Amino acid sequence: MEKKIEIRAYKDEFYPPVPTKATKFWRTNLVYQIYKFLRLNYKIMRIVVKGHS
Amino acid sequence: MAKVVVLGAGISGHTAASFLKKMLGSKHEVVVVSPNRYYQWVPSNIWVGVGRMKIDQVRFPLDKVYQKWGIIYKQAKALEFHPEGDQENNSPFVTIEYVANAEKGQREKVSYDYLVNATGPKLNFDATPGLGPGKFSQSVCSYDHAAHSWEALQQSIKAMENGQMQRLLIGTGHPSATCQGAAFEYALNIAFELKRKKLSHMAEITWITNEYELGDFGMGGAFVKRGGYITSTKVFTESVLTENNIKWIKRAGVTKVEDGIAHYETLSGEQNTKDFDFAMLIPAFKGQDFKAYDKSGEDITAKVFAPNGFMKVDADYTPRAYESWTVEEWPKTYQSPVYPNMYATGIAFAPPHGISKPMKSPTGLSITPSPPRTGMPSGVTGKIVAQNIAHFIKHGETEHKHTASMGKMGAACIVSAGFSMTRGLGATMTVSPIVPDWQRYPEWGRDIKATVGEVGLAGHWIKLFLHYMFIHKAKGYPFWWLLPE
Ligand SMILES: Cc1cc2nc3c(=O)[nH]c(=O)nc-3n(C[C@H](O)[C@H](O)[C@H](O)COP(=O)(O)OP(=O)(O)OC[C@H]3O[C@@H](n4cnc5c(N)ncnc54)[C@H](O)[C@@H]3O)c2cc1C
């Protein structure tokens, strides 16, 4: 039987940017994410400290 | 000796009570009235809803902590406010009704010198016929709702394992619902769990929302610096949904839910339905239906509370067109304009207006997210009110030394997108300020340098770290007061 292909063209979900393989890789790369963890915490703390003044 | 009564032991009330006691010590009395004997870290309910956490990981009993701190705890719900006292009492008081143990059903007049109303939202399932647990949809707004939602979701998962396609509908269950962020997290966590079980192909997940554009989140959307562009959260949100194969219906106000069918009206006036096998839809929020009376017993509810039941504070409630809204209308001290010894913090205060632009369908149905008041502003407002009250009591002053406006303060929101220490994901978003300040930041409404939007494993770690940190703080473990709200 022929496999039914769902054509996404012209649908809402056709247009947004989607991550490439490399982007997905870096998202769960432990070393890079440890760096991100520290950086994001720093950015969050800056906002938090401002909110408490 | 002064007496401060705090109504509610959620993020805001518990923060206020803990700082009040710490600052006032044993010379003064702090009383907490809350019907739920548990403190719950609400943001982690999402993980209860996908079976990744048990109820007891997101809650703990309050009595032990309050005993340790010397706070008087009454497991009761507040019913009436008497800010001038009554014919027999000159002191202001609240009428409460006990909800547990031998005292269940008994009423008591609890007098106060200062009152902090931190009773959060009433989950108004009744505003949408058929909505909510025990009816035709699920909720994750409290730990018990989330646990039920997980039970229902497991049935859908079983059906998928048996080869049946399942239609899952997640989003807002009322045209003016808020808390899109929580529902969005739930949709992403479900998608993640289905991927983990290799069942993604058996599910059709749909995100239904009252937002004008995706990524509005009740705060008019936001812009983030990303990949060399300044990008709106619309793009960010659509991208995350597309990646997870989640379809969406936007500008939709759910008006009725039946067994397996959600009815909704769109901003263009269409009346549509969406079939589902499993639905988790966030209800509208309102205040706790309190009544207020003056000394002679006359009903002054409309003076103290806004029509939506939230308490009026030092906001400017003059009706204005969206184009004329400024951050100046947002409250700073959370003090009642009619009774200066009363405050409302967290979700319990009445916002001056929305943050998202009001929209109506041709039938006149308002389809617009209400303004969210997330964890950080709830904690911060609880803390500054506690600091001010403690200062008044200790120094006899009446000037508010501490202020916190949502038009000045920023917020960090970590959207969980999958629970795993090595493969999990979280979208970290920060905005500053929460309410766009178009005078100060004419281009984007917010400080673009302080705004972050990133997806990665680090986001999951941060969300999990915050879970443990805030429970540590709420339990009053060593150095709890050093941890920020
Ligand atoms: C599923 C979910 C996920 C969320 N995730 C996030 C997140 O990731 N980040 C974030 O910043 N925010 C998040 N939020 C929002 C956050 O939980 C709220 O901002 C916060 O809980 C509000 O705190 P509150 O103290 O004002 O209200 P609540 O936490 O609702 O507390 C209200 C308290 O009042 C008590 N009460 C109710 N009625 C009465 C009465 N009549 N008398 C006395 N006491 C009463 C209740 O028992 C409770 O103790 C989420 C919300 C939900 C529902």
DSSP characters for B131-142? Answer: -STTTT-B--SS
Residue B77 tokens, joined: 């719900």
Residue B396 tokens, joined: 């006899």
B140 and A CB contact within 8 Å: no
- Per-residue pLDDT band at B450 (split at 50, 70, 90): confident
Averaged pLDDT for residues A18-28: 96
Query: Measured between alpha carbons, how far is residue B232 from residues B51, B172, B400, B417 in Å?
Result: 32, 21, 37, 19
Query: How far, in Å, CA of B288 to CA of B301, rounded?
Result: 12
- Is 90 exceeded by the pLDDT of residue A5? no
- Per-residue pLDDT band at A2 (split at 50, 70, 90): low
What type of residue sits at position B345? T
pLDDT of residue B483: 86
Query: How far, in Å, CA of B230 to CA of B441, rounded?
Result: 14
- Count the Cβ atoms, other than its own, within 10 Å of residue B428: 25
Query: Measured between alpha carbons, how far is residue B433 from residues B231, B348, B405, B408, B437 in Å?
Result: 17, 20, 9, 5, 7
B437 and A CB contact within 8 Å: no
Calculate how far, in angstroms, residue B339's C-alpha sits from the geometric centre of ligand 1: 24
Task: Report DSSP state, residue B311.
Answer: B
CB contact under 8 A, A19 and B428: no
Query: How far, in Å, CA of B203 to CA of B165, rounded?
Result: 6
pLDDT of residue A6: 81
Averaged pLDDT for residues B324-330: 97
Paired with B411 in beta bridges are B431
A20 and B CB contact within 8 Å: no
Number of helices (H) and strands (E) in chain B: give both, helices first: 10, 25
How many Å lie between the alpha carbon of B107 and the closest alpha carbon of chain A?
A: 38
- The finding on whether B383 has its CB within 6 A of some atom of ligand 1 is no
pLDDT of residue B452: 86
pLDDT of residue A52: 59
Prediction ipTM score: 0.92
How far the first Cα of chain B sits from its last, in Å, is: 28
Paired with B96 in beta bridges are B78, B108
Calculate how far, in angstroms, residue B350's C-alpha sits from the geometric centre of ligand 1: 15
Calculate how far, in angstroms, residue B458's C-alpha sits from the geometric centre of ligand 1: 25
Query: Do residues B28 and B70 touch, judged by C-beta distance below 8 A?
Result: no
Helical segments of B124-216, H only: 143-161, 180-196
Give me the CATH topology for the region B3-123+287-395. FAD/NAD(P)-binding domain (3.50.50)
pLDDT of residue A53: 53
- Per-residue pLDDT band at A4 (split at 50, 70, 90): confident
Q: Which residue of B has its CA nearest to A33?
A: B458
A41 and B CB contact within 8 Å: yes
Query: How far, in Å, CA of B49 to CA of B426, rounded?
Result: 16
- Per-residue pLDDT band at B227 (split at 50, 70, 90): confident
Query: How far, in Å, CA of B181 to CA of B430, rounded?
Result: 13
- Count the Cβ atoms, other than its own, within 10 Å of residue B404: 25
Query: Do residues B74 and B60 touch, judged by C-beta distance below 8 A?
Result: no
Q: Is B453 helix (H, G, I), strand (E, B) or coil?
A: strand
Q: CB within 8 A of B206, min separation 6: which ones?
A: B167, B168, B169, B170, B171, B246, B247, B248, B249, B274, B276
B411 and A CB contact within 8 Å: yes
The pairing of strands B261-266 and B252-258 is: antiparallel
- The finding on whether B194 has its CB within 6 A of some atom of ligand 1 is no
Query: Do residues B76 and B108 touch, judged by C-beta distance below 8 A?
Result: yes
Least confident of A2-6, A16-20, B257-261, B465-469: A2-6
pLDDT of residue B184: 97
Q: CB within 8 A of B252, min separation 6: which ones?
A: B208, B209, B210, B264, B265, B266, B272, B367
Cis peptide before B337 (omega within 30 of 0): no
A6 and B CB contact within 8 Å: no
- The finding on whether B131 has its CB within 6 A of some atom of ligand 1 is no
Averaged pLDDT for residues B263-284: 98
Q: pLDDT digit string (tens) for B19-49?
A: 999 999 999 999 999 999 999 999 999 999 9
Query: Do residues B40 and B142 touch, judged by C-beta distance below 8 A?
Result: yes
Size of interface A-B (CB pairs under 8 A): 93
A28 and B CB contact within 8 Å: yes
Best probe of the B interface among A37, A42, A45, by most B CBs < 10 A, is: A37
Task: Report DSSP state, residue B293.
Answer: B
Using an 8 Å CB-CB cutoff, list chain A residues near B242: 13, 16, 18
What type of residue sits at position B482? L
Residue nearest to atom 46 of ligand 1 (CA): B8
- The finding on whether B179 has its CB within 6 A of some atom of ligand 1 is yes
A8 and B CB contact within 8 Å: no
- Is 70 exceeded by the pLDDT of residue B211? yes
pLDDT of residue A51: 66
Query: Do residues A27 and B456 touch, judged by C-beta distance below 8 A?
Result: yes
Residue B244 tokens, joined: 């997870």
pLDDT of residue B7: 98
Print burial letters for B355-391: b (CB count within 10 Å at least 16), e (below 16): bbeebebeeebebbbbbbbbbbbbbbbbbbbbbbbbb
| Ramachandran sector of residue A41 (left: φ over 0; alpha: ψ -120 to 50; beta: rest) | alpha
- The finding on whether B417 has its CB within 6 A of some atom of ligand 1 is no
Averaged pLDDT for residues B204-230: 95
Tell which residue, B382, B374, B402, has the closest CA to residue B466. Answer: B374
What does the domain layout of chain B look like in residue ranges? 3-123+287-395
pTM comes to 0.96
What type of residue sits at position A22? A
CB contact under 8 A, B456 and A28: yes
For A37, the closest of B411, B452, B461 (CB atoms) is: B461
Query: How far, in Å, CA of B456 to CA of A28, rounded?
Result: 6
Q: CB within 8 A of B144, min separation 6: which ones?
A: B55
Q: Which ligand 1 atom sits closest to the C-alpha of B44?
A: 3
pLDDT of residue B332: 97
Query: How far, in Å, CA of B46 to CA of B63, rounded?
Result: 25
How many Å lie between the alpha carbon of A25 and the closest alpha carbon of chain B?
A: 10
Which one has a higher pLDDT value, B219 or B485?
A: B219
Residue B277 tokens, joined: 């096998």
Paired with B412 in beta bridges are B430
How many Å lie between the alpha carbon of B386 and the closest alpha carbon of chain A?
A: 13
- The finding on whether B219 has its CB within 6 A of some atom of ligand 1 is no
Torsion angle of C-alpha atoms B279, B430, B403, B27, degrees rounded to 10: 70
Would you tell me which residues 204-263 of chain B have a C-beta closer than 8 angstroms to some C-beta of chain A?
235, 238-239, 241-243, 245, 247-248
Best probe of the A interface among B461, B465, B469, B473, by most A CBs < 10 A, is: B461
Tell which residue, B3, B285, B5, has the closest CA to residue B118. Answer: B5
